[in-house]
Structure 1
C-alpha cells in the first residue's frame, strides 16, 4: 500500500516551549484516520507541519516525496477549522466558492470543463441546488458542505480536515461524516481528520491517531479500544466503551473488538 503521509521524528516548539516531540507515523493510501487529543495537544500544529504552513524539525514525506520538494498540491484538499470565506459578508455565490478550489491550479479563466468539475463536486456534497445562492445566506451546515466541495473539486487523493463539524448541529454533523465516509469507501480518498466526535466518526474511520504533544497511539479501531495508554488518557470515554461492550456486545465505534464479549 502506497505511503501518503509519512512523518519521522517531528518536533516543533513555540519560543523554545515544546509543542510536539518525537512524532512518527505512516498513513497509507485509503486510510481514514481520526486525529484526536486534548485541546492544546498539538493536533492543529501537526496538520500545519504536514502542509508546510509551519516549520519544525524531522522529516515529512507526501506521496513518497520530501515535503520541501513536493509540487503536486492538487493531490491534497484542505478544509481549515475557520475559513476566511465563512467569516466574510462578501456577496459571493456558492458556485464561485467552489471555483476557488481550481484557480490556484489552472488560473482565473473558467472553462466549460472546469464548470463541469465544479458541479460534479457540488453533486457529491449535495450542494448543487445552492450553486447560485449567496454563500453567507446558507446555513452553517450547508456552508461546510460547499467548502468540502471546494476541497474536492481538484479531485484530491488526500483530504485533510481540521474539526470541520465544530459548529454543526446533530443532523448536519451526521450528513457531513456520512459524506466523508462515502468519499473514502467509494472513491478511495485518504482522509486525515481532527475531530472530537469520536463516536460519530468512528462508524467510518479505519484508524485513530492520538496526539498529546507526543504520539500516544496510532493504529486500528480495535487496537484503540484495547490500548492501555488510550484508556489512561481518555478515562471516561474508555470506561463508556468497556461498559458498552459488556452491555451490548459491540463497540460504540463500530469495530469488531466486542466479538470476544458475545
Structure 2
C-alpha cells in the first residue's frame, strides 16, 4: 500500500477503546436503593388499587405502622436485643472455630486428613434438625440456640477458609521460603492475605445461614426474638406484623452485609 493510502486509512480508522479494566466493578451508589424504592412503591400502589388482597399481602404502609406500634410498645427492643445477642454469640464462635479448622486443614496434612472428610460428612445435615438434640444436651435456654447457629456457621466457614488457603499461589510461598522467611511469617504475610477474599466471602455466607438458623431456632423455642414474633404473628393471621418481622430480618441482613463490605474495602485495599 502506498504512503498516501496508508495515511488515508489511518485518518479513517476508529480508535480502539481501552479494555484493560480487568472487569473491575463500577460503584453505583444509588442504583440498589432506587430499585428497592421503586419496588416498594409499586407494591404500595398495587395494594391501594386493590390488586393485592390485604389478607394475603398487606401494604408496606401497614407493615410500617405495625413496626411503629411494636417500637412504641417496647417489644421491638426486647425481640431485637434477644435475636442480636444470639446471632452475635453463635456467629462469632462459629466463624472463629471455622477459621481455625480451615487454616489447620489448609496448612497441615494430618489435620486435612481428619477435618475434610468430617466436614464433608456433616455439612449436608440440616442443622435445624439437630436443635432437639442440642436442647437435650444444653437445655431449652440460650445455649441450645447459640449451639445451633455455631454448628451451622462452622462448616461453610471451614470450607471457605480451607479453599482460600489451598488456592494461595504456591510460587509466592516458595519465594518466601527462598528468602528465609519463617513458617509463621509466611502464614502471616502471604497465606492469610492471599486467603482473605475467601475468608470474607465465607463470613458473608455464614452470616446469612446464621440469620436463617436464628429464626428457625426462635420459632421452635423462644419467648422473645424476631423468629418468635413472626411465628406469633403467623398464628394470629396478623400479616402486617408478619411482614414487619420480615422487614426487621431484612434490615439485619443489610446491616451485616454493610459491615462486611466495609471490612472488605479495608482489608482488600491491596487488590485495587
Please indicate the TM-score interval, normalised by the length of the shorter structure: under 0.3
Larger radius of gyration: 2
Structure having the higher helix fraction is: 2
What is the TM-score with the length of structure 1 in the denominator? 0.22
Structure having the higher strand fraction is: 1
What is the TM-score with the length of structure 2 in the denominator? 0.22
